[in-house]
Structure 1
Amino acid sequence: MKFGTSGLRGLSEDLKGRASALYARAFGRYLLESGRAKAGDPILIGRDFRQSSPEISADCIKALDKLGFAMIDCGTVPTPALALYGLHLSAASLMITGSHIPADRNGIKFYRPDGEIDKADEAAITAAATDLDRIGFDWPLDDRQAEDRSAECLALFTKRNASLLPSNALAGLKVGVYQHSTVARDLMVDLLKHFGAEVTAFARSEHFIPVDTEAVSEETIALLKQAARDHGLDAIVSADGDGDRPLVTDETGTPLRGDLLGLIAANFLGADAVVTPVTSNSGIEASGSFSVIRTRVGSPFVISGMQEAITSGKTGVVGFEANGGTLVASAFEVNGTTLLALPTRDCFLPVLATLAQAAANKRPLSVIASGYALPFAAADRLENFPVETSARLMAHLRASLDNLADFLKPIGQVASTSDIDGLRVTLTDNRIIHFRPSGNAPEMRCYVEAETQGAATDLLASGLARICAFAGAH
């Protein structure tokens, strides 16, 4: 078990039982010892639709009940809904989810009563878990019942999103909802209908399907394009497993970049500061009347950057990642109401903001996307790529400029590099290629930018091929 870019991750079989109880107990112990909570306080728990999630959830409930917390079960809800309810009640929470990673893996996202944990919290929880593992701990084997407040949790989040747009703001749009196994699937349909869209829901699945909104598979893209043709859709929307990362396609079924969705959401809110990782599109700085802060990949780093922006005097702060997950650090006046801060990834805000722009402008999403004139970007990952091989590759590339130049010789010449997170290389022809091991899975990621979609696609293929060649030689 280890923390990655967002939460604790591991194989489902390893996480079930003692391991999940250990980390839940460590989290509870940290809350008590840091004074962030006391015995008797509520702790919320939610989960995604993975087969292992109910068992892991039950393990965590038993472990935290043993410490004297009042456990509240919020059921299968989107992560941002759980986080919002936690802020509303000033209660800590746990979301049992592996997000977009394969079904044989799972994870736990932790929230303090005042929001998502940061890297210092992760270190403290890890230390507490190590200590508990060393000295041993007891936890009940019999079930512990948690109070069911799933309806109340979902209702609060629904109310937040139902006030974002004017009545019938999406009237005239035909929108498909790719339901698969995301916990956002039913609420997505309800909200789109609430705003007047004609909705076609499709491909609902009773088994878990991992959907990575930052690197949508060719199989999924083919399914989306077919649905767009079959139903004459203006757009298709979806989310990852726990509903904190959006997926939006144009009228052809082609997915829009997640960082474009975040950019649209920031402009929709009228942000004066945007915080986003280095992997987001390099054209963002010129695409709005806001200042931009670049961070490492992962919501804890984005949240830290947002806090820095607020401390510096910014009053309208929004963050987003390349996967489209959008975080709101300030309160904004929207549609005559106050949208409270929700500094955790959310898929609903960027989805609704993007569809609202299409409806208001009466223009296809493909035209709206091209109007931002961002460099063409692409990303993909090599799954089941050994962590040790990723580490050797990054060490080799960082060891010397000669190593890097030799590695990239079949692709282009190096002009400059950035080592904020992974290795981001600008080539002499202004193309960008970025190599980065995943922070929470055995995957190697590659991000690219170029002047045309074809050039970006070719560069991505070349980058992945170079990674494979290195792995084969080492």
Structure 2
Amino acid sequence: MRVTSNPTIVDLSTSFKAYDVRGIVGESITAEIVEAVGAAYVDVLQLEGQTILVGGDMRPSSPEFSKAFAQGAAVRGANVELLGLISTDELYFASGFLNLAGAVFTASHNPAEYNGIKMTRAGAVPISSETGLRDIQQLAEQYLMSGVIPAAGRRGEIGTRDVLKDYAEYLRGLVDLSGSRPLKVVVDAGNGMAGLTTPAVLGDALLPKLPFTVIPLYFELDGSFPNHPANPLEPENLRDLQAAVVNHGADIGLAFDGDADRCFVVDEKGQPVSPSAITGMVARREIARAQEQDEKVPTVVHNLLCSRAVLELVEHDGGRAVRTRVGHSFIKTVMAEEGAVFGGEHSAHFYFRDFWNADTGMLAAMHVLAALSEQDAPLSELGQEYEPYVSSGELNSEVADKVASIERVRTDFAYDDVAIDTLDGSTFTANDGSYWFNLRPSNTEPFLRLNVEATDRSTMERIRDRVLSIVRG
């Protein structure tokens, strides 16, 4: 099959990231590029003669890109099942449940002009730049430069499959919510894929009704994001949810990002519950469940920006906490290596052994609903149990020389009673336990990212301001 030949060198490095592909539609990601990537994906993963899964989110370019990827894969001899509109965790489910490799077109929380690809091996095993993504990039570049994707011995067939009901049934099998106390739940889908998955899992669109009243916000699938960006990590994007929870007298609010693999939680007062608190809440449930199945010391993975309370809770409940770098590819790798039952990140990615070590915002939300249902206190009281410390949130500073800035902070704290480790950036931990902070350079932007946590607000603010004055001074 021929693609448009480009006489110049093709370089896809602007869209190939550490563990996915992401770019501006019509510029760094086009149907032509996607077709070459689909062919390279089959070659690098040696999928000729096998079946792969391809779906996409609600962005306008996703259907075209899904078909282009399928065409490239079929030319190289793979059979393709098009899944249509799916969330990212639906792909992980399908890849794990069916034990097939797959790809989903999404740019997650990025603006409307973006799209991208997340690819997995069979069993929802992630692909990163170290485990095949760079090879896929290089081979796709070769195909684009030659102008030809050579046909395999047999062209693959392209069909369709719907996995939404199977996905919903599987999640309900992991967390039984049928006996929950009645709860009023506001869900902000942000015009993203949770507008499709929430009615299927928490509503009665496909399965019997649960004892919840679900109040929808922005369930219309619209990749132009007409109401607010589908990025709940930014506080301004939670405001509609917070107001709706209070106005409706709801018990809880849930906000999903565009591809619905992350979930943020708001209590009945409209106040955000930190992802670290959610990590602790879900970890407690997963540890208890594993112990009931005679797993003596269940392992929970958390990244180094999660609250210290996560470590303390896991150990208190008889589990083992393993600290990792930031980034889902690292978490998933450690999850597999350690046989961990659960993993959490400060960015509201939550990973489950029973979900092929992949992240799913919906399953995390179901655990929170179950925890809330099992006691009579409101979520604000339940959440306090998991948030004993005060944190700054992530603060970004644009600096020309990130290495020099970190070194100035090291020098300034040289005579303080602190321990420093360099697992991911530099983490400074006071030996008296009063605070810790992490300075981490962004891999893609000229930013230093600061996170501070302390036993009280005044200590947090003092350390925060001290570090920022050094970094920005």
Structure 2: distance between partners of 1:445 and 1:187: 33
Work out whether residues 77 and 184 of structure 1, in 8 Å CA contact, stay in contact via their aligned partners in 2: no
Counterpart selection for 2:276 from 218, 234, 259: 259
Counterpart in the other structure of 2:7: none
1:295-343 deviations in whole A, cap 9, x for unaligned? 1111211122122213xxxxx52222222222223xxxxxxxxxx4422
Cα shift at 1:131? 4.2
Cα shift at 1:167? 5.0
Counterpart in the other structure of 1:10: 23
1:212 aligns with 2:231: yes
Work out whether residues 177 and 189 of structure 1, in 8 Å CA contact, stay in contact via their aligned partners in 2: no
Work out whether residues 252 and 265 of structure 2, in 8 Å CA contact, stay in contact via their aligned partners in 1: yes
1:187-241 deviations in whole A, cap 9, x for unaligned? 224433433111111234533353334x332x22332221122111111012111
Counterpart selection for 2:216 from 190, 201, 222: 201
**Amino acid of the residue matched to residue 424 of structure 2?**
D
Work out whether residues 221 and 254 of structure 1, in 8 Å CA contact, stay in contact via their aligned partners in 2: no
Structure 2: distance between partners of 1:259 and 1:147: 41
Structure 2: distance between partners of 1:3 and 1:441: 15
Pair 121,378 (structure 1): closer, same or farther in 2 beyond 3 Å: farther
Counterpart selection for 2:401 from 388, 393, 397: 393
**Amino acid of the residue matched to residue 277 of structure 2?**
L
**Superposition map of 1:277-292 within 5 A:** 277-288=303-314, 289-292=318-321
> How many corresponding residue pairs?
431
Counterpart selection for 1:76 from 63, 85, 100: 85
Work out whether residues 405 and 413 of structure 1, in 8 Å CA contact, stay in contact via their aligned partners in 2: no
Secondary structure of the corresponding residue to residue 260 of structure 2: coil
Secondary structure of the corresponding residue to residue 357 of structure 2: strand
Cα shift at 1:120? 2.1
Percent identity, aligned pairs only, is 23
Structure 1: distance between partners of 2:464 and 2:150: 48
Counterpart in the other structure of 1:337: none
Pair 418,3 (structure 1): closer, same or farther in 2 beyond 3 Å: farther
With normalisation by structure 2, the TM-score equals 0.81
Counterpart in the other structure of 2:302: 276
**Superposition map of 1:151-300 within 5 A:** 153-193=163-203, 194-204=209-219, 206=222, 207-208=224-225, 209-213=228-232, 215-217=233-235, 219-270=236-287, 271=290, 272-288=298-314, 289-300=318-329
Structure 2: distance between partners of 1:165 and 1:444: 39
Counterpart selection for 1:137 from 144, 148, 156: 148
Pair 319,138 (structure 1): closer, same or farther in 2 beyond 3 Å: same
Cα shift at 1:2? 4.6
Secondary structure of the corresponding residue to residue 15 of structure 1: coil
Structure 1: distance between partners of 2:99 and 2:302: 27
Pair 134,347 (structure 1): closer, same or farther in 2 beyond 3 Å: same
**Amino acid of the residue matched to residue 212 of structure 1?**
N
Pair 101,461 (structure 1): closer, same or farther in 2 beyond 3 Å: farther
**Amino acid of the residue matched to residue 343 of structure 2?**
G
**Superposition map of 1:47-126 within 5 A:** 47-115=56-124, 116-118=126-128, 119-126=130-137
Work out whether residues 440 and 449 of structure 2, in 8 Å CA contact, stay in contact via their aligned partners in 1: yes
Structure 2: distance between partners of 1:211 and 1:454: 33
Secondary structure of the corresponding residue to residue 28 of structure 2: helix
Counterpart in the other structure of 2:358: 344
Structure 2: distance between partners of 1:414 and 1:50: 51
Work out whether residues 327 and 343 of structure 1, in 8 Å CA contact, stay in contact via their aligned partners in 2: yes
Structure 1: distance between partners of 2:469 and 2:61: 34
Structure 2: distance between partners of 1:465 and 1:19: 45
Pair 322,6 (structure 1): closer, same or farther in 2 beyond 3 Å: farther
Pair 308,18 (structure 1): closer, same or farther in 2 beyond 3 Å: same
With normalisation by structure 1, the TM-score equals 0.81
1:431 aligns with 2:435: yes
Which stretches in structure 1 are left out of the alignment for 5+ residues? 311-315, 330-339
